[in-house]
Amino acid sequence: METGYDDRDGKIWLDGQLVEWRDAKVHVLTHALHYASSVFEGERCYSGKIFLDRKHTERLHFSANCLDFEIPYDVDTLMAAKQEVLKANGLTDAYVRAFAWRGAGPDMGVASARNPVRTAIAAWHWGNYYGDAKTKGAKLDIAKWKRPSPETIPHQAKAAGLYMIATMSKHAAEAKGCSDALMFDYRGYVAECTGANLFFVKDGEVHTPLPDCFLNGLTRQTVVKMLKEKGITVHERHIMPEELEGFEQCWLTGTAAEVTPVGQIGDYQFEVGALTLDIAKSYEDLVRA
Across-strand partners of 38? 101
Residues 66 and 93 grouped into a single domain = yes
The answer to whether position 5 is within a domain reads: no
Q: Assess contact for 124 and 95: CB atoms under 8 A.
A: yes
SS3 of the chain: helix, strand, coil, percent, to 5 = 30, 30, 40
Q: Assess contact for 197 and 220: CB atoms under 8 A.
A: yes
For 265: left if phi > 0, alpha if psi spans -120 to 50, otherwise beta; the answer is beta
Residues 116 and 254 grouped into a single domain = no
Give pTM, 2 decimals.
0.95
The answer to whether position 6 is within a domain reads: no
The answer to whether position 22 is within a domain reads: yes
Residues 186 and 60 grouped into a single domain = no
CATH number at residue 173: 3.20.10.10
Confidence of residue 1 (pLDDT cuts 50, 70, 90): low
Residues 94 and 153 grouped into a single domain = no
The answer to whether position 1 is within a domain reads: no
Q: Name the domain boundary from 89, 124, 159.
A: 124
Residues 80 and 139 grouped into a single domain = no
The 8-class DSSP code of residue 159 comes to B
| Residues with catalytic roles | 158
Q: Report d(CA 44, CA 54) in Å as an integer.
A: 12
pLDDT in tens, 136-183: 899 999 999 999 999 999 999 999 999 999 999 999 999 999 999 999
Q: Assess contact for 138 and 63: CB atoms under 8 A.
A: no
Residues 199 and 253 grouped into a single domain = yes
Q: Which of 266, 263, 242, 245 is nearest to 141 (CA)?
A: 266
Domain count, the chain: 2
Q: Name the domain boundary from 77, 93, 124.
A: 124
Residues ≥6 apart with Cβ < 8 Å to 210 = 236, 237, 238
The range of the structural domain enclosing residue 167 comes to: 133-287
Residues 161 and 242 grouped into a single domain = yes
Residues 119 and 142 grouped into a single domain = no
pLDDT in tens, 237-269: 999 999 999 999 999 999 999 999 999 999 999
Residues 255 and 142 grouped into a single domain = yes
The answer to whether position 55 is within a domain reads: yes
Residues 20-39: what's their mean pLDDT? 97
